Structure 1
C-alpha cells in the first residue's frame, strides 16, 4: 500500500457497486488534502487489508475505513470519512447525533438493496487521484 505523508486513512469500498462508485467520486472531489487512499474490496490490496484486520466476512456489505490501525464499519465509517471532507459531504458527520442502531439499520437496508436500487458494474473502476 502506497502512502504519502498526507494520507492518514484507507477506504475499502465495493468496486462493483454504482452507489459506492459515486461515493468514491464524492470523496475524491471533496478530499483536498488527499488524506484517503481508496481501495476496491475486490482488489488484491483490498483483500489483503480485509484479511489483515479480520474483516473478510463483514466487508461485502460495508464500507470499511482503516485509520491509525483502527477499523470503522457502516455508518461509523461514513461519519469518520465525512469529518475529513470539505463541502456538503462534510454535513454527513452530523449523523452521529442519531443512535448507532438507527444509523446502521438505515445503512444496512441501503447496503442490502444497493445493487437493485443503484445497479452493479461488471468491472470495477479504480479511482484516479
Structure 2
C-alpha cells in the first residue's frame, strides 16, 4: 500500500467523481492517493480492513492505518485539506448517527440525482500518478 492517505470511492458515480476532481484541485501538495472501490487494489484494501468489497455506499479514507467511512471520512478529508476546510471538524459535535443518516440519504440517491458512468473514471495523465493500481 502507498504511503499517505488513500481515498476509495465509487468509480462509476458521477457525484463521487466530481468530489474526487474537486479534491485533486484542493490537495495542492498531492498527498492523497485515489482508487475506485471496484478496482482490484480497492478490493484488496477493503479486505485488509475487513470491509465489504461489494458495497459502494460509502467512501473509505485510509490514513495512518485507520479506515474512515461515511461522515467520519468526509470530516477527516476536510481536515487534511487544511485552510477553511478544517472547519469541517466542527461537524464532530453533531452526533455520528445524525451525520451518517444524512450521508446515507445522499448515498442512496446519488445515482438518481447525478447519474452514473458505465465504467470507472479514467484520470488524465497528469493526475494518473495519484491513483493506486
Q: Provide the TM-score with structure 2 as the length reference.
A: 0.84
CA distance in 2, matches of 1:77, 1:126: 23
1:51 and 1:31, CA in 2 relative to 1: closer, same or farther beyond 3 A?
A: same
- Equivalence for 1:42: 38
Runs (5+) with no aligned partner, structure 2: none
Answer yes or no: is 1:69 the counterpart of 2:69. no
- Equivalence for 2:6: 10
Q: 1:20 aligns with which of 6, 16, 24?
A: 16
**CA deviation string 1:72-119 (max 9, x = no partner):** 110000000000114554443332221111100000000011100111
- Structure 1 residue 54 displacement after superposition: 1.1
CA distance in 2, matches of 1:57, 1:17: 16
CA distance in 1, matches of 2:60, 2:72: 9
Runs (5+) with no aligned partner, structure 1: none
Matched-pair contact (CA < 8 Å) for 2:59–2:73:
yes
More divergent stretch after superposition (117-126 vs 76-85): 117-126
